[in-house]
């Protein structure tokens, strides 16, 4: 994927300068704490529509949360997601990893490729921000959506969420999750096989128990 992604731009902070109503929506990103109030209000509405019982949608600041949005020239949020990041130890090596959280598209904008475009762009944002790899879980019915956006399923891989004292694995009974990944650095690609069919100590904490 080229940068910026085809058909839009990824700005460090803010909507593309000089955008007009006729231009395609653009991708913008902010540290979660710096999302402008007008955009944050729209994202909160989308979260409440998708997950009525989710409560407070803010993430643990220790996970360096960033919000990525697809926004029209008039400032309407079409789709949103968050990127969470941390350092982990896996198979005797340290990695900077990132994952997707709270991926949502406005109900009247679904089926138009908006969510896929945003999820695909998130890969490049993760890499630019220094992640060795991106890795996260999704509900099994969404597997094809993420694969079509450029993510690879790691069959048999389990993410261990929660904390070491109170683990919350992605294969908890009653869950039906798959793990997806993208390997960005040469070092991560060389050792990608160690992430397949593995149990990975993610442990993002009590606020974001699993991403």
Whether 208 shows a pLDDT value over 70: the answer reads yes
Helix (H) or strand (E) segment spanning residue 37 = helix 37-50
Cis? peptide before 211, omega within 30° of 0: no
pLDDT at 57: 75
Can you tell me the distance from the alpha carbon of 172 to that of 164, in angstroms, rounded to the nearest whole number? 15
Per-residue pLDDT reduced to its tens digit, 86-111: 999 999 999 999 999 999 999 999 99
**Tokens of residue 79, six digits:** 């789709």
Whether 56 shows a pLDDT value over 80: the answer reads no
Per-residue pLDDT reduced to its tens digit, 128-158: 999 999 999 999 999 999 999 999 999 999 9
């Amino acid at each position: 994927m080229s940068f910026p992604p085809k058909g839009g731009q990824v700005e460090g902070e803010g909507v593309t300068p000089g955008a007009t109503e006729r231009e395609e929506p653009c991708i913008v990103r902010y540290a979660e704490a710096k999302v402008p109030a007008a955009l944050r209000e729209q994202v909160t509405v989308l979260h409440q529509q998708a997950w009525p019982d989710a409560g407070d949608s803010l993430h643990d600041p220790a996970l360096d949360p960033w919000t990525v949005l697809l926004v029209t020239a008039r400032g309407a949020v079409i789709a949103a997601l968050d990127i969470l990041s941390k350092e982990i130890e896996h198979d005797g090596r340290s990695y900077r990893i990132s994952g997707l959280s709270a991926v949502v598209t406005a109900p009247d904008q679904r089926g138009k490729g908006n969510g896929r475009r945003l999820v695909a762009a998130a890969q490049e944002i993760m890499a630019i921000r220094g992640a060795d790899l991106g890795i996260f879980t999704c509900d099994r019915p969404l597997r094809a959506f993420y694969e079509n956006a450029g993510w690879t399923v790691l069959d048999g891989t389990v993410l261990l969420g929660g904390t070491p004292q109170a683990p919350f694995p992605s294969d908890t009974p009653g869950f039906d999750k798959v793990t997806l990944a993208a390997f960005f650095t040469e070092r991560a690609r060389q050792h990608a096989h160690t992430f397949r069919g593995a149990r990975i100590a993610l442990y993002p904490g009590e606020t974001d128990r699993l991403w």
